[in-house]
Structure 1
Amino acid sequence: MTLTADQTAVDQGRRLVTELPGPRSRELMARKSVAVAGGVGTTMPVFAARAAGGIVVDVDGNHLIDLGSGIAVTTVGNSAPRVVDAVQEQVAAFTHTCFMVTPYEGYVAVAEALNRVTPGDHEKRSALFNSGAEAVENAVKIARAATGRDAVAVFDHAYHGRTNLTMAMTAKVMPYKRGFGPFAGEVYRAPVSYPFRDAGPDGALDGAAAARRALDLLDKQVGADQLAALVIEPIQGEGGFIEPAPGFLPALAQWCHEHGVVFVADEVQTGFARTGDWFACDREGVVPDLIVTAKGIAGGLPLSAVTGRAELMDAAHAGGLGGTYGGNPLACAAALAAIETIEAEGLLGRAREVEALMTRRLRALQERDPRIGDLRGRGAMIAVELVRPGTTEPDADLAKAVATAAHRDGVIVLTCGTYSNVLRFLPPLSISDALLEDALDVLDTAFASVPGKAR
């Protein structure tokens, strides 16, 4: 991929000039410890000063390879040129009026763009918010208003946010839920299709069988006539990049259609070219009733959305949806520029190129190291699940150790998973092949450095 002038201004190579963290980062971390609430953690104790392409430069001048994209946010690249230009133009015009007071064209243009690129050719409407969790909550509000029902179905290993309702919808207790209850009611959980862990004597459950298992449970525990919405991540994010077996999502969507349940796709992490399609639902032709987006929507600025069937989106009364900052004009300008970048630079294809390179290297590593139990994902959303050799027993300590070793050598790697045993890779689509290869060389070394590797 050709780098822009802005990207080449940040040298696109890994370079460590101090130990990590360096002295300036240590100073800032000391300030953080007395100024920032202790509940706000960090993955790496280094402070960013600049970022572009596939590199984050810290305050000590170290160049780190970015395999995290700010948790799937800077998909089009950090400080992408179109995004920078659009935001600069908008900030000079005005920064805020509140769309609910004096509206502006940017909000309408983003809604039009979302209505165009999201799955399905039916008539749609969109509403804009700030965060993924806020958008998920509003999708539930819309579904309840449209159906007159209360109950919401979610899945094992799900992550939907940190607000009260979305904590109830999220599966993992630590660090997201412990000590923060009581949670919102009328949330019911069903088993997801998890091919690596669904394997039995007769092999893994296929998608249709896994869907029957989930829907049978919902029928018994809740009843379809009580469900307002079924909410699912097409590929689960924080839960471990779990990609359900083919046929699982279409079966759920069909059941929802038959029973008047609103099918909500939470594409906060999977959307906007991340998986090699506009949206992960596209791969199997699944058309959700409502789709929730955020993260990669606006090139790093806070924006989220709910887009869906017009009759559902219009079910809420006037004034029932919105928020002071929802659809902020700077974020709207950034979103339009990010969507233009995806289309103009062929980033759907680039995501598939990243997938091919990363899976080739990680498959070779898996063949050498039996502690990699599973390799999965799509596009620039790839993960390895780490286990004790010869078993499916999760090895969270190994994941932590490998990530720490990679961090020490200048590669930003994130962990995730219900069992905290998954390494996830979310590089920006502006990253070069050379940087990806270097990062994977570091990962190879990190695995080799951690005791227990089979020889």
Structure 2
Amino acid sequence: MEGARKIEDLIYYQVSEYKMRHGEGIHLYDADGRAYIDCASGTFNLSLGYGHPEIVKAMREQADLLVHATSTFRTEPVDRLVRRLVAVSPPNLTRVHLKVSGGATANEGAVKMAQVRTGRREVITLFRSHHGQTVLTTAMSGEAFRRAPFPTLVAGITHVPDPYCLRCFYRQSPDSCGLLCAERINDFIDHASSGSVACIVVEPVSGSGGNIVPPDGYLAALRRICDERGIVLVFDEVQTGIGRTGHMFAADHFGVRPDIITTAKGLGGSGAQVAAILTSEELAGLDGEYHSFTYGGNVLAAAAADKTLEIVSRPEFLAHVRAVGAHLMERLRDLATRYPRIGDVRGLGLMIGLELVDRDGRPDTPLTLHLAHRGMDHGLILRTSRYGRGNVLKIRPPLVITTEEADLLCDRLETLFAAEAT
């Protein structure tokens, strides 16, 4: 009887009508052979695109030797990956925890490390933030809709306004606000928390929340607050890390050293499941029985991640990301001059967002969803902010995109806007 049911009725989660067959570079091909430019790099985890030949070769060679071994044992791919991660991380981050299975468990582990180190329990995160979908990271994420279905979530999370200058919570102007969005965190600690704050967890550029780039000085202000109050500063670089912003980590772009960086997604290059927590020496010491997962430190994934870091570390690679990202931003800002429904173009490197507005300048979620849906007809795979509740189209193609491919992406976007957003 099950064979008579549609596959859509058997898969627990919702799937689209498109069936994909293979991928190459920035393109994903459906069962009919039609090519789509993937503007979302899978789920932002295909940093080097589909089937990068060096990643595939590294995984094939490793698969012939060893796919998995318990992390109790050392293996050459894990040893290489740990050394390479330390080498490319901010200088104060000298410890690598690989026994996590994704970005959410990396973020949860970072909180545990901060709690053990400080002896405190509470966590501060931002409005619109997204840190994962475990029980703890669901509670941490700054969106009410994420928490709404669940009657029991972790207590001790304080959400504070994010540095969203276009729609400032405090109705201030960036040139005169004195970074109120950072300074007021002191008030939240004093009056909204219990005073027992272990860590502040922040995405240097918001991922799901709308590609919000903080104003100059904001992250440095967070560093100062944490130093003054003995709070651990955690950068969730699950989406911003491994070259996405044109630097190995967004921390490098902003010139701020957090106490912990979490990384995942793009670390796998062409889709390997791998994540890591990078910490300072002061955060070392969380015993294994408190945070370790069976497939953390997987040998096959470590081989892929090591090769990914080797590629992204090449002298010309990040310069290429910055150059193509600047070219894309220039073209998209030009597009915005001709299509007033684009209210803002913002981003770093190849992490770009188009904020869509109605004719009165208000967020236009229906138009955003419509364009993302119709994008497939124009050969574009587009994702939107806030899991379909936001008004930002995300433009985050694989980092290997060429200038010519970036122009093709923009040409298709312009055709889409001409047809659907006039």
Q: 3-state DSSP class of the match of 1:346?
A: helix
Residue among 67, 71, 75 paired with 1:95: 67
**How far apart are the structure 2 equivalents of 1:207 and 1:347?**
36
Residue 86 of structure 2 is aligned to residue 115 of structure 1: yes
Residue 14 of structure 2 is aligned to residue 41 of structure 1: yes
Q: Which position in structure 2 is the counterpart of 1:384? A: 354
Residue 143 of structure 2 is aligned to residue 166 of structure 1: no
Q: Which position in structure 1 is the counterpart of 2:281? A: 310
Q: Which position in structure 2 is the counterpart of 1:32? A: 7
Residue among 364, 367, 378 paired with 1:409: 378
Residues 192-222 of structure 1, C-alpha deviations (whole Å, 9 max, x = no match):
1111111887623656332112332222212
Distance 1:207 1:295, change over 3 A: farther
Greater shift after overlay, 148-157 or 344-353? 344-353
**How far apart are the structure 1 equivalents of 2:354 and 2:360?**
15
Residue among 98, 103, 118 paired with 1:132: 103
Residue pairs, 1:359-438, within 5 angstroms: 359-391=329-361, 393-417=362-386, 419-438=389-408
Structure 1 vs Structure 2 CA RMSD: 2.0
Q: CA deviation at 1:318?
A: 4.4
**How far apart are the structure 2 equivalents of 1:417 and 1:366?**
22
Q: Which consecutive unaligned segments of at least 5 residues does structure 2 have?
A: none
TM-score (norm 2): 0.93
**How far apart are the structure 1 equivalents of 2:52 and 2:320?**
15
**How far apart are the structure 1 equivalents of 2:148 and 2:201?**
22
Tell me, yes or no, if the aligned pair for 1:238 and 1:416 is still in contact at 8 Å. yes
Q: 3-state DSSP class of the match of 1:319?
A: helix
Aligned residues: 416
Q: Which position in structure 2 is the counterpart of 1:17? A: none
Residue among 192, 199, 221 paired with 1:251: 221
Distance 1:99 1:199, change over 3 A: closer
Q: Which position in structure 2 is the counterpart of 1:282? A: 252
TM-score (norm 1): 0.87
Q: CA deviation at 1:79?
A: 1.5
Tell me, yes or no, if the aligned pair for 2:156 and 2:193 is still in contact at 8 Å. no
Q: Which position in structure 2 is the counterpart of 1:52? A: 24
**How far apart are the structure 1 equivalents of 2:233 and 2:160?**
14
Residue 56 of structure 2 is aligned to residue 84 of structure 1: yes
Q: CA deviation at 1:233?
A: 0.2
Residues 5-54 of structure 1, C-alpha deviations (whole Å, 9 max, x = no match):
xxxxxxxxxxxxxxxxxxxxxxx9x84312210xx234x53222211211
Residue among 323, 327, 332 paired with 2:302: 332
Structure 2 residue identity aligned to 1:57: Y
Distance 1:123 1:67, change over 3 A: closer
Distance 1:106 1:181, change over 3 A: farther
Tell me, yes or no, if the aligned pair for 1:207 and 1:247 is still in contact at 8 Å. no
**How far apart are the structure 2 equivalents of 1:395 and 1:156?**
19
**How far apart are the structure 2 equivalents of 1:221 and 1:80?**
48
Residues 400-430 of structure 1, C-alpha deviations (whole Å, 9 max, x = no match):
1111221112111111148511000110122
Tell me, yes or no, if the aligned pair for 2:93 and 2:259 is still in contact at 8 Å. no
Tell me, yes or no, if the aligned pair for 1:241 and 1:417 is still in contact at 8 Å. no
Q: Which runs of 4+ in 1 moved over 6 A?
A: none
Residues 106-142 of structure 1, C-alpha deviations (whole Å, 9 max, x = no match):
2232222211211234643433411100100111111
